[in-house]
């Protein structure tokens, strides 16, 4: 059994997130005693997933000091296309990359990492729909359930969540 009693994780949120790709990792990490904060453009705002599941943000992007966190989760759905437009989000991703702290990304979340400019030479996966985007950003793309390249853990889609979380947990454990 793994325990993260002192781990703090950011889970990015905006409208149209893929419901399972946000909530499964958040609940799994919280179950392991991690403190996971939902962080969106506004604090206390209710965002809705593609299938209507709500998520209320704990903090706004501007409230966060990333140095207090041990990792970040980027869910898929259509929210990554919104999230990558915020400079704070791109700065978060660059910080975690430079610090070699865990970055979890699934499905369309690769768009955020592309916009942050951190994928050159990195082995990843994603939904096949953005394969070309990932490769054009310099990533080495693989069609498999989960790919781990150092601190970056990527996955394709909801059916791959068990494998994704298994590997993400290992990366958080160090």
Specify which residues 148 forms β-bridges with. Answer: 153
Cα–Cα distance measured from residue 13 to residue 60, given in angstroms and rounded to the nearest whole number: 10
- Catalytic site residue from 3, 108, 123, 151: 108
Do the beta carbons of residue 72 and residue 9 sit within 8 Å?
Answer: yes
Full DSSP string of 41-66: SSTT-EEE-TTS-EEE-SEEGGG--G
Cα–Cα distance measured from residue 56 to residue 107, given in angstroms and rounded to the nearest whole number: 22
The two counts, helices (H) then strands (E), for the chain are 6, 11
151 classed as catalytic? no
Catalytic residue set: 108
């Amino acid at each position: 059994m793994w325990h993260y009693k002192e781990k703090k994780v950011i889970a990015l949120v905006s409208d149209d997130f893929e419901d399972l790709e946000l909530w499964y990792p958040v609940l799994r990490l919280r179950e392991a005693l991690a403190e996971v904060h939902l962080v969106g453009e506004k604090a206390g705002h209710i965002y809705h997933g593609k299938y209507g599941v709500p998520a209320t943000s704990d903090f706004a992007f501007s409230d966060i000091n990333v140095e207090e966190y041990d990792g970040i989760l980027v869910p898929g759905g259509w929210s990554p296309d919104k999230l990558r437009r915020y400079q704070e989000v791109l700065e978060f991703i660059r910080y975690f990359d430079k610090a070699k702290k865990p970055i979890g990304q699934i499905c369309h979340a690769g768009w955020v990492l592309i916009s942050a400019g951190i994928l050159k030479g990195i082995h990843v996966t994603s939904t096949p729909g953005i394969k070309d985007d990932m490769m054009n950003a310099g990533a080495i793309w693989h069609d498999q359930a989960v790919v781990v390249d150092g601190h970056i853990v990527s996955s394709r889609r909801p059916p791959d969540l068990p494998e994704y979380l298994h590997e993400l947990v290992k990366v958080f454990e160090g």
